A and B are shown apart, each in its own frame.
Chain A
């Protein structure tokens, strides 16, 4: 099928989509455009092994030869400034314009900022440039305060404290990773981080940064408590990058709105990954998911949509967080889960939490139990909801429920 595909965004989703188009036999021109200057790379390692030593290199998504061998024109360090959907053209800031027959928007997101976040010593982490800045600053020493006890904050805490630095985590919510995981998992990680010598504070939200001569000196919380800091890293989530889509006339609402096949309202235009608010297959309710799995699986689905092979996106969401030697894996989405059933013993540091909404299994958190995580993905995909007593009983062979 001839044509010209343009992919805006060369992160996990964008690169995966370009690769998926080729894999599905598209032989038209593909341009993959990334705003960052680096060879497209993986973000997850930035909070982990990238912090372990000052010369750790970024992990690229594909090596340069891949783009050449697969006829993917990779343009890095290029910002797309405007999309004209009617004319099927987009503008590259200062470098001319490109026409397209197929367009994928995979613009990701921008880290949320706090007031005073432009004080020297305050960082966020999204890009290699951010990670390099953090890494050099950490080497200068001094107490580190991490604002936000979500996945990113905890991974950073684990990495940075491993090198002997003093780390404090400030989480405004009642518990760590509260938005995403069960209470038992929050408790496990709170204890683990405390055991690593990290100072963890929940339920006392950020109030302000203190500074002297423009340099950070402390972080102050709502209770008035003051945490001396040589540096602060803010990990409070991202906002989807929708400006370009919005200006192009696409409907956006905490993400670029797409249907169940990841198609925007415009012909031949899809949006995927962190920036896309899509309709869930079973329920038709809109949601936006930030994960490697979502980016990659949506890329494949959307490539199909662009090539006329429309299928609804229905991959079971899954996610991982690796904090030092602790492996946290989650399957499904907790949503309105009201009941948690624990399998295994949290005191052993290896357990799962099966989460139910009105009797239906909707998510499973697994801590240091990869086999159980993989199984739970299959259970959720199959719509199987094991009974609570079966889950609690270590002798139950949950796998057999799939054969039923």
Chain B
């Protein structure tokens, strides 16, 4: 299992054990982590699963493809260099311990 630490805007943290191959969005929804809305269910068509990945895990998280880059234009909260749509990040062993900060607004 891959341990992902979801941090809320107010600093509260929740660690979730994610199955390899499950997306960080799916793990959030399945574990009822607040703040990930995921309106489109992982189709990369809504930009409401926005997270900021802590810098040291950005490489492990992989690069956003063109579709995700385009969709990130639509994020409600500030878009930063470490912005990602969590439906596009699949848990891998390299992400064990990763900290992702949930965007303060999704819509």
Binding site for B on A (CB under 8 A): 23, 42, 44-45, 48, 59, 61-63, 65-66, 70, 292-293, 296, 320, 322, 325, 327, 329, 368, 370-371, 373-374
Contact = CB atoms under 8 A, between A and B. Distances in A.
Interface in B51-79: 66-67, 70-71, 73-74, 76
Interface in B63-97: 66-67, 70-71, 73-74, 76
Contacts of B76: 374
B7 to A, nearest CB: 21
Given A322-B45, A325-B66, A374-B76, 12 more contacts: A23-B32, A59-B42, A63-B26, A63-B30, A320-B43, A322-B43, A327-B45, A370-B70, A370-B71, A370-B74, A371-B73, A374-B47
A65 B18 CA distance: 12
A238 B74 CA distance: 31
18 contacts: A23-B32, A42-B42, A48-B43, A62-B29, A63-B22, A63-B26, A65-B30, A66-B30, A292-B39, A292-B40, A296-B39, A322-B43, A325-B66, A327-B67, A327-B70, A370-B45, A370-B71, A371-B73
B41 A292 contact: yes
A332 to B, nearest CB: 15
A44 B32 contact: no
Interface of B is mostly: loop
Nearest to B34: A23
Contacts of A292: 39-41
Given A62-B29, A374-B47, A42 B41 contact: yes
A42 B41 CA distance: 8
A327 B73 CA distance: 13
Contacts of B30: 62-63, 65-66
A62 B107 CA distance: 22
B47 A44 contact: no
Interface of B: 22, 26, 29-30, 32, 39-43, 45-47, 66-67, 70-71, 73-74, 76, 107
A298 B61 CA distance: 34
Contacts, number: 51
Contacts of A371: 73-74
Given A66-B30, A370-B73, A45 B39 contact: no
A45 B43 contact: yes
B47 A370 contact: yes
B2 to A, nearest CB: 15
A373 B74 CA distance: 8
A256 B40 CA distance: 25
Contacts of B40: 44, 292, 320
A63 B28 CA distance: 12
B12 to A, nearest CB: 17
Nearest to A370: B74
Contacts of A325: 66-67
A374 B41 contact: no
A329 B74 CA distance: 12
Given A65-B30, A320-B45, A325-B67, A374 B39 contact: no
A328 B42 CA distance: 16
Contacts of B107: 374
Contacts of A374: 47, 74, 76, 107
A70 B67 CA distance: 34
A296 B107 CA distance: 15
Contacts of B74: 370-371, 373-374
Looking at B22, B39, B45, the one whose CB has the most chain A CB atoms below 10 A away is B45
A44 B41 contact: yes
A42 B67 CA distance: 20
Contacts of B42: 42, 59
Contacts of B29: 62
Nearest to A371: B73
A44 B39 contact: no
Contacts of A65: 30
Given A368-B70, A370-B74, A374-B74, A61 B32 contact: no
Contacts of A44: 40-41, 43
Nearest to A327: B45
B89 to A, nearest CB: 16
A59 B41 contact: yes
Contacts of A322: 43, 45
Nearest to B70: A370
A292 B38 CA distance: 11
A320 B73 CA distance: 16
Contacts of A23: 32
